[in-house]
């Protein structure tokens, strides 16, 4: 049986920082294009139909939480 990882170890902190950075990156991949489209819509460059079309790829992409699997001790992301 493997030893349980403790939260106060440098290895755990490093793993958690890596997971957090990966989640942030994936959220930016999904939401940054949508935010740019909203800014263009606010400026009057897009109408509401174009904004809706821009939102569709964001709605179809999966956020980080759906790409992770729970284990007994932590979340492991693929």
Residue 66 inside a domain? The answer is yes
Least confident of 3-12, 15-24, 33-42, 62-71: 62-71
| Burial of residue 37, with CB atoms counted within 10 A of its CB: 0-12 exposed, 13-18 middle, 19 or more buried | buried
Verdict on whether the full-model pTM lies above 0.75: no
Residue with the bigger pLDDT between 55 and 36: it is 36
Nearest-CA neighbor of 62 among 23, 10, 36? 23
Query: What is the extent of the structural domain holding 63?
Result: 26-77
Residue 34 inside a domain? The answer is yes
Residue 15 inside a domain? The answer is no
Residue 7 inside a domain? The answer is no
**How many domains, in total, are found in the chain?**
1
Q: How confident is the model at residue 40 (pLDDT cuts 50, 70, 90)?
A: very high
Residue 3 inside a domain? The answer is no
Q: What phi, psi does 14 have (nearest 5°)?
A: -65, -45
Is the pLDDT score of 1 beyond 50?
A: no
């Amino acid at each position: 049986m493997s030893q349980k990882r403790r939260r106060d170890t440098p290895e755990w902190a490093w793993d958690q920082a890596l997971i957090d950075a990966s989640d942030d990156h994936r959220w930016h991949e999904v939401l940054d294009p949508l935010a740019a489209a909203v800014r263009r819509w606010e400026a009057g460059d897009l109408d509401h139909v174009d904004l809706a079309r821009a939102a569709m790829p964001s709605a179809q992409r999966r956020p980080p939480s759906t790409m992770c699997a729970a284990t007994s001790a932590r979340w492991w992301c693929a």
